[in-house]
Amino acid sequence: MAISRAQLVKELEPGLNALFGMEYSRYENEHAEIFATESSDRAFEEEVMLTGFGAAPTKSEGAGVSYDSAQESFTARYQHETIAMAFALTEEAIEDNLYDRLSARYTKALARSMSHTKQVKAASVLNNAFNTSGSYNGGDGVSLCNALHPTALGAAFSNTPAVAADLNETSLEQAIIDIAAFTDERGLKVAVQARKMIIPKELQFTAERLMKTTLRTGTADNDTNAIRSMGMVPEGYKVNHFLTDSDAWFLLTDAPNGLKMFNRSPVKTAFEGDFDTGNVRYKARERYSFGWSDPRGIYGSAGAA
C-alpha cells in the first residue's frame, strides 16, 4: 500500500517547525569486526575441512615405513538469503508535501532498515553460539561454541569453558590457555592465539579495565596486568550492540577460515513510477549469508548466569 496524504497530514499544512524521528545515528558494519567477507557467484558456498596426518611414528631398524591416509572431515555450507524491502508514495503526497522531498527522507529510512537487518543476522550467529537445539549447528554437527566438537580421527576439542564463566581476569586467562591447547582433526596441536574480544554493551567497562590498565584489576597487589603487558589480545575488544546476552563474551582467534560472510549480491536500490496511478515505488535488495567453517576461529563463554 502506498504512503498517501492520509499518513502525512501535518506535512501538508503550514506552521510545522520540525520533522523528527529518522535522524538518529546508527550502528553500522559491526559485523565487519567479526566476519571475514568474501564474494560469491552461486546459490550457496561450501567449504570442506580436510584432515592431515597423525604424529609420525618411530621406525624400527630394518622395518618398513608406516603409511598414513588423509580424508575429508566435514562440510560447512553458507546458504545465501535474499533481504528486500520497498515502499511507495502517491503522486499527490509528493506534490502536496510542503517541507522536504519525501523520497529522500524515506530512502534513508529504507537504508536504515536494510542495515539493521544485516547487523541482526550477523549477531544471530553469536547469539545462538551455545544453542544446542540443532537448528544452529555448523558443518561438524554441533553448535559454534561447544565442549564436544568432533574431529575426524582425533579426540573432540572444546572452544568453550568447562563451566560457563563471567568475564573476569581468571576466566579470560583460562580462555587464552584453552585456545593455545587447540588441536587439529588428527589431534596435533595447532598454533592458534586469541586476537580480538567481542562483547555486548554491558561488558564494555569490565573489558576496558581488564585490557587497558597497567596493573591487575580488583586487587591491592602491585602486580602487572599480564594480559596487557604480554599483548595476549592484540586487537583489543569491540562492542557489538546487537548481542542479546548481557554476560556472554567471545574471543576471535587467528585460525584461518573461521567466521565468514559471503556477499552474493551487494545492496541495490531502484525506483519506478506507475503510469496508471502516478505512484512511485522504491526498492532495496541484497543477498548474503553469515556462518562459520572452522570453529577454532572463536572461543566463547555464555556467562555464569
Question: How many angstroms separate the CA atoms of 218 and 262, rounded?
Answer: 42
Is 50 exceeded by the pLDDT of residue 30? yes
Contact 148, 158 (CB under 8 A): yes
- Report the mean per-residue pLDDT for the chain: 88
Q: How confident is the model at residue 274 (pLDDT cuts 50, 70, 90)?
A: confident
Residue 286 counted as domain residue? yes
Domain limits for position 242: 80-301
For the chain, the domain total comes to 1
Residue 29 counted as domain residue? no
User: DSSP code of 276?
Assistant: T
Residue 128 counted as domain residue? yes
Least confident of 21-30, 103-112, 153-162: 21-30
| Interval 47-105: pLDDT, tens | 999 998 988 999 999 999 999 988 889 999 999 999 999 988 887 777 776 435 666 77
Instruction: Please state, as a whole number, how many other Cβ atoms lie within 10 Å of the Cβ of residue 91.
Output: 15
| Interval 206-227: pLDDT, tens | 999 999 988 888 777 778 889 9
CA atoms within 13 A on the CB side of 298: 31
Indicate the pTM of the whole model.
Answer: 0.88
Query: Which stretches of the chain are DSSP H helices?
Result: 91-96, 102-127, 169-180, 204-212, 226-229
Q: What percentage of the chain exceeds 90 in pLDDT?
A: 66
Residue 53 counted as domain residue? no
Residue 10 counted as domain residue? no
Residue 246 counted as domain residue? yes
Question: What pLDDT is stored for residue 102 in this prediction?
Answer: 61
Residue 235 counted as domain residue? yes
Residue 197 counted as domain residue? yes
Least confident of 19-23, 101-105, 203-207: 19-23
| Interval 226-259: pLDDT, tens | 999 999 999 999 999 999 999 999 999 999 999 9
Pairing of strands 259-273, 280-292: antiparallel
